[in-house]
Amino acid sequence: MAELELRHLRLVCAIADEPSLTRAAARLGVSQPSLSATLQRIERRVGGRLFERERTGMRVTELGAFLVSSARVVLADMDTLLAGTAARTRKAAGEVRIGACPGAIGPGLARHVTEMLPTDQVTLEVAGIGQLAQDLETRRLDFAVLDECAGFPLPTSDRLDIRQLVAEPVFVALPETHRLSGESAVKLADLADEDWVVAPIRDGNDQVVLSRACAAAGFSPRVRHEVNEPATSRELVAAGAVALAQPTSRSGAGIVVRPLAGDPIILERWLAWNPAGPHAKHAADVYRCAALAYVRQLDRNPDYQRWWDTHPEAHRQLTRVVGDDVTA
């Protein structure tokens, strides 16, 4: 039992709270196979089954019920400890801690928050969606921009407030020498024989999202590389692989970023915050900061700028908040 970590306790409680392992995985921002493997490791450590797998879902065992009830006490105490410690280490003017999933929006958000809010320090954390949601819960972060594909719920609880920024298509990154690099839009089915670069299963739902979209296009993707670092991913694409890409990603340095025909994958971006946090009163201002940071990325990819101009319904709320203030 001494080998169990806080993340293991949170995982077990999440499974107990959900009717199925799939729902628990979505809540935690991980894949179902990854969650199942982690649960098996935890059960080996405690020396017994915590849940029985039944056709209707997961049923907690007597051992599991004891562990879950004890874990809730430990986690509640730890959350109180962390929140109190974080609040006491803030500087007098009020440090603002923000987070974002990997991508270009984080630095721009930090810059605008620094300019707009009455604070003497802004810190930025770049992490996966599950980690960001957890850090918001424990008030290690004040605000975070969370990215999740449509059809997958955010791994947030009712203790967090969320507001959508935009829903947009996912593009594809190809080597600039690829036979389809000159197309205005690439059919997913035409990439059936390619080697794919995808984030590891433990870091999110990217592989599930890709597999579902490819299955609808009639093939199973050949995942050759598992990488969750943008620069390395770009190098692998330049060397011959392909990868899903955020629509604001730049072409260049041996790669091109193109739309996928028919927009088979939609990415949703949300601003999330803890209403009990010390800066929650500035949520509207931080939302505007996130909107500005995002809109000022549009010229990074002309194909995305064209999509943006022809789909005002996808970003109506964001555009309303930004207004005409879109200069860099």
For residue 254, how many other CB atoms are within 10 A of its CB? 14
pLDDT along the chain (328 residues), means of 10: 71 82 77 84 87 80 87 79 59 74 83 82 85 88 89 83 90 93 92 90 79 92 85 89 89 91 91 90 90 84 86 80 57
pLDDT of 91: 45
* Domains, the chain: 6-87 (1.10.10.10), 92-168+267-322 (3.40.190.10), 171-264 (3.40.190.10)
What are 128-153's pLDDT values in tens digits? 888 888 889 888 899 999 988 888 88
The DSSP string of 223-279 is EEEE---HHHHHHHHHTT-EEEE-TTPPPBTTEEEEEBTT---EEEEEEEE-TTSTT
Beta-ladder partners of 23: none
Residue 269 · residue 146 · CB < 8 Å: yes
pLDDT of 327: 42
What are 169-207's pLDDT values in tens digits? 999 999 999 999 899 899 999 999 999 998 877 667 788
